[in-house]
Structures are given as C-alpha cells and as structure tokens.
Amino acid sequence: MLAVNPGKTPISLLQEYGTRIGNTPVYDLLKAEGQAHQPNFTFRVSVGEISCTGQGPSKKAAKHKAAEAALKMMKGGLGGPVLGDSKLATFRLLVQRSNH
C-alpha cells in the first residue's frame, strides 16, 4: 500500500497524475453483485495504457482499490516501471509531494 498524505486518497493522486499527463482516469462499473445487505462492486480504472480493477463492499471502496492498484503498477510494483522516464519522474514527484 502507498504511504500518502491523509488528505490524498489513491483516487485523488491518480486524478492529479492523469490531469498532468493529459489522461484523466476513467472508472467503469464492471459488476454489482451480492445481496442488498452484502453487496460487492467491481470497478475498472483506465489511465492511458494502464488498466486495473478493484473490488469492494461499496462503489467508493472498489474505486479506491482500483486506483490503488493502478498507482502501484505505475510505480513499478508489478515487475518494473511501466511508464516512460519522463512520465515516471512526474509521477514520483507527485507521490513525494503528497508524502510531505
């Protein structure tokens, strides 16, 4: 999990980053299942060439998990950097600023 400023959620960090690179995140509801008292939602977030999914008991939680997965992937958490050097540098700068 990313260590971020309490005021910066993965959703807001991803939004800031996407705005900077000209690819704002797009969230799509893939599934809404389960009973009314125990729902489960699945969202996909796409930012440029990155696409990740997240599941949770609410739409907000599922979006949060999807954004968190996308941020982790962009930081290279799944086998190395995914972004080009300049985009990766911009992303790292954003994360550093949010940690202070």
What is the spatial distance between Cα 42 and Cα 54, in angstroms, rounded to a whole number? 6
Is residue 10 a contact partner of residue 64, using CB atoms and an 8 Å limit?
yes
Q: What average pLDDT does this structure show over 57-80?
A: 86
List of domains in the chain: 10-99 (3.30.160.20)
What is the spatial distance between Cα 31 and Cα 40, in angstroms, rounded to a whole number? 8
pLDDT at site 1: 38
Higher local confidence (pLDDT), 67 or 94: 67
pLDDT at site 95: 55
Higher local confidence (pLDDT), 93 or 58: 58
pLDDT at site 80: 45
Q: What average pLDDT does this structure show over 28-55?
A: 95
Q: Rounded to the nearest 5°, which phi and psi values hold at 7? A: -85, -10
Write down the pTM of the prediction: 0.72
What is the spatial distance between Cα 68 and Cα 43, in angstroms, rounded to a whole number? 12
Coil, strand or helix at 36: coil
